[in-house]
Chain A
């Protein structure tokens, strides 16, 4: 007998069916979560569980045009804490504070913070990092980061620039090519629990960083040396407010050298006052070019046909323009002269006349065509545009004054580019600093020279260059004369314009713009000495000798043939200086130490360029006659590997050697040393006995031997001076 009535059974059956149906709905919902949205949610889950430790990419090197390294990156340790793993924050902070030179409270706060990653100190020196490693503190970890290493402190500092703590470019090439140099950071991804602790058997993932591109500059390290050397000299002599020299290849617009004084050490920029590194005067300084601008005026007038070299002029010592008397620098004037002589004499009244004759429209047309009044677009941050009176406001008087390089402000880079156009048969090139980008030693992008426009004809240029040669040979620029070469140029002496307009009395800008050889110029140079002190301030006296010295060494270094007949004509007031001439001895292929001794014995100075210990090139060459005390440039290179190309080299055991010893051994057999730390070699990246190809880098860790460690005085004081954080840099972020 069925005790339960049929109604209940029927209804319960319904309940069962509905219940099962609802569970089936749950199953489909489960499938929807696990499959339809599965990937997306799984990815999200990983994101929630995984945390990143960034791994910095190796910043690209900066090389000169011949591939010599100017800036590289070296490996240093940065220290971070994983607060969840720090066992005894109190004790840990006490131990770390003195080594890192940090405040105990600040450290303690970091160590107890509720986070999984806290930087303690970035880029600590190897000694401190070694000490901390030895303490073996739980929760304190190390990350290898790279630090910028400027191989030649204060060489082309404004051009190269520098980087901040995160290796971000702040100034110079480092900034303008930051994206290329930077590379792509990698990551170490680790799995954490919700309390911020690394979990057992955590998933680790290493995403390697992609190193940045290497930059090959148009800068020539050797020419840059000449520039730096001569700037140092002129600073010592005249103590100017600042001094700069730019050397350019007129055919490509490539900057061969660019130097400024005062300068700074790129690796210690935080210790220098901001106004020194903040701006690059060579591209930023707006100044009245004075007579050097007559190159532009003369080129315009010759090209337009307003004047010809043989036209005659008369200079009574002044010219009257709109009730103003414009005086010539020479009292009484130059009298009757041809245009060639006008240029030679840098005669102001006659140039004013030429400017007015040229007329406003024509003059402005050429000024603009020469690239003045607007940035040229050199790839450096902070280029100024110069200041030009708007064309519609310009009066006749303005024209007359502008023709002699006043009432117009230009930047050094603009003026040299204009001069380079004259050197380059009238074609203005865009000034460039970077020649190519390399990745892993392979060129991946060449930056082609950029023609801006043809400003004047080749014929005009040729004519003007001959006039400029006569300025040096017979006129105001005689101090720029380089024996053996045909040099052309123009001096300039202008008064400094005060902040409120009007000239500041007693403050001058002495400059010289020149090129050589004039028949086919290979280099153009501008030297600007602002506010020289100690009497002389004429461009021909202060700036021309700087030009002469740099040009002389550069032309020889470039290997341009000397013309024996090209002797400096004796000026009547000149007295033969009793400086003995020395014949340069041959040091080619000598080891560098020996070469230096030979040069010293001969009464010569030396300067090295490049890396290595064998002289592969010397400038000037053997047999050349130079003055006593002249510097001979030694280009160095590592010893050539005696094995044939492709032959493998066996890596030696370096353990226990000093950096120098290890470096010598590796260099001798054709390998490179990448040292890390100081002291004696402990480990090496390539095992002894391994066969590698020539030129392979061997990373070697050096550590101080224990007994030495105690004997050495604590050097924490001097080493702890890292970029202080209170210096705020406007270029960060």
Chain B
């Protein structure tokens, strides 16, 4: 059964481009002082901006390619995707292949560029799960024959990601798959049990890892150790508060720029947005993500086949969940976990694969039944 292709979802496309532009500007604004520091390692205010621009260009290329690549063909690659996902996750853990940055092995060094396989793995596992669930159909109500294979695959991938260690990404992946299982019609009892298991897993991951425990106690009371574990969250909050309603103006941020805010152009870029663009700017970004969620789920809902529907839902869930966790961390609503803000934070891998995911969703939108 083949359908005629229509035009992709223009609003979704535009939303992503706006987020991307905000990201480019903010990456430059937040990083310029640090990157241009004559005593620093870069000595070029445009250092990060140039790299982000390159990533964005590449990402848009990938997005446009995926937009035109019939998502039905993805089914053919599912096996390969699953295998390569697991291989990459194992490889990244091997010293010599996996690059260790700040105590975490999340990157594979490919010579000129390094990339973060977990970003790609998220798309692969999502595709695999969408494919599998579409095959099982009603069988999903069963545990052994329906649910278990997905749980095993996702669980294994999540554990490998957790081993990097990267609790944030692992949790986002699990959350995404959970939403897909829910959408596919898994039984309420099963889902409740899974949610409980997930919560217990996260609790254990925090409790048995001292640095996570410190972050967690700092989340509960940042003032207890203002120059240590509370530093990140306190300075994020101070940056946000310095913005007020309208912000200090683009490029005029002080707290976020002058090295007080850590990870100012990556994980905590939302704090820089809050300082320079204020509450209005922060809300604009959140509204754009709501818009993205709406258009993304709309594509999933209007998709004529189950695979496409679940795939779109999974991909958009992944992005939205990540955004939610990131903004939650920056506003002090969630404990600190190293996770980027999709389309906005600095980081080419994240950018390219997020755009790849959007490309797939846009492709699915072209087969919408509501045209």
Contacts and interface: CB of A to CB of B under 8 A. Distances in A.
B348 interface: no
9 contacts: A3-B305, A8-B301, A12-B301, A30-B283, A34-B245, A41-B241, A48-B260, A49-B260, A199-B258
A26 B327 contact: yes
A195 B34 CA distance: 11
A214 to B, nearest CB: 42
A77 interface: no
B320 A19 contact: yes
Interface stretch (B92-100, B102-110, B306-314, B355-363): B306-314
A9 B313 CA distance: 10
B333 interface: yes
A4 B137 CA distance: 11
Max chain B C-beta neighbours (<10 A), residue from A2, A15, A44, A49: A15
Interface stretch (B47-55, B142-150, B166-174, B286-294): B286-294
B304 A44 contact: no
Contact of B324 (A2, A4, A19, A194): A19
B6 to A, nearest CB: 14
Contacts of B369: 1-3
Interface in B258-293: 258-260, 274, 278-279, 282-283, 286, 289-290, 293
B184 A49 contact: no
A194 B259 contact: yes
Contact of A34 (B243, B260, B303, B305): B243
Contacts of B327: 26, 30
Contacts of A30: 240, 274, 279, 282-283, 286, 327, 331
A195 B259 contact: yes
Given A4-B304, A16-B297, 8 more contacts: A1-B304, A29-B331, A29-B332, A34-B274, A37-B241, A41-B241, A45-B242, A193-B258
B286 A193 contact: no
B241 A42 contact: yes
A473 to B, nearest CB: 81
B238 A41 contact: yes
Interface in A174-196: 191-195
A91 to B, nearest CB: 18
Contacts of B259: 193-195
B185 A7 contact: yes
B360 to A, nearest CB: 16
A5 interface: yes
A194 B301 contact: no
Interface of A: 1-5, 7-9, 11-13, 15-16, 19-20, 22-23, 25-27, 29-31, 33-35, 37-42, 44-45, 48-49, 191-195, 199, 203
Contact of B304 (A2, A15, A22, A27): A2
A16 B304 contact: no
A12 B301 CA distance: 7
Contact of A45 (B184, B241, B303, B328): B241
Contacts of B300: 4, 8, 12
* Interface SS of B by simple majority: helix
Max chain A C-beta neighbours (<10 A), residue from B33, B255, B306: B255
A34 B240 contact: yes
B186 to A, nearest CB: 10
B306 A35 contact: no
Interface in B217-254: 234-235, 237-245, 254
A211 B305 CA distance: 83
A26 B286 contact: yes
B183 A8 contact: yes
Interface in B147-177: none
Max chain B C-beta neighbours (<10 A), residue from A4, A11, A195: A4
A194 B243 contact: no
B193 to A, nearest CB: 18
Max chain B C-beta neighbours (<10 A), residue from A13, A26, A49: A26
A12 B183 contact: yes
Interface in B53-88: none
A59 to B, nearest CB: 36
A4 B133 CA distance: 13
A161 to B, nearest CB: 42
A4 B255 contact: no
Contacts of B179: 15
Contacts of A31: 279
A49 B286 contact: no
A88 to B, nearest CB: 14
B305 A42 contact: no
Contact of B332 (A16, A33, A45, A203): A33
* Interface SS of A by simple majority: helix
A689 B279 CA distance: 55
B240 A5 contact: no
Nearest to A38: B241
B318 to A, nearest CB: 12
B243 A11 contact: no
Given A2-B369, A30-B240, A30-B274, A49 B309 contact: no
Contacts of B282: 27, 30, 34
B317 interface: yes
Given A12-B183, A42-B238, A20 B290 contact: yes
Nearest to B241: A41
Contacts of B237: 33, 37, 41
Contact of B258 (A19, A20, A37, A194): A194
Given A3-B306, A15-B317, A34 B241 contact: yes
A384 B260 CA distance: 56
Max chain B C-beta neighbours (<10 A), residue from A3, A7, A33: A33
A719 B230 CA distance: 50
Contacts of A23: 286, 289-290, 293, 324
A41 B233 CA distance: 12
A7 B333 CA distance: 33
Nearest to A19: B293
B331 A48 contact: no
Contacts of B42: none
A199 B253 CA distance: 12
Contacts of A49: 254-255, 258, 260
A11 B244 contact: no
Contact of A5 (B289, B293, B306, B331): B306
A203 B305 CA distance: 60
Max chain A C-beta neighbours (<10 A), residue from B243, B258, B293: B258
A20 B241 contact: no
Contacts of A192: 258
Contacts of B183: 8, 11-12, 15
A565 B19 CA distance: 109
B24 to A, nearest CB: 22
Interface in B319-371: 320, 324, 327-328, 331-333, 369
Contact of B283 (A11, A22, A27): A27
A44 B223 CA distance: 12
A8 B324 contact: no
Contact of A16 (B238, B294, B302, B333): B294
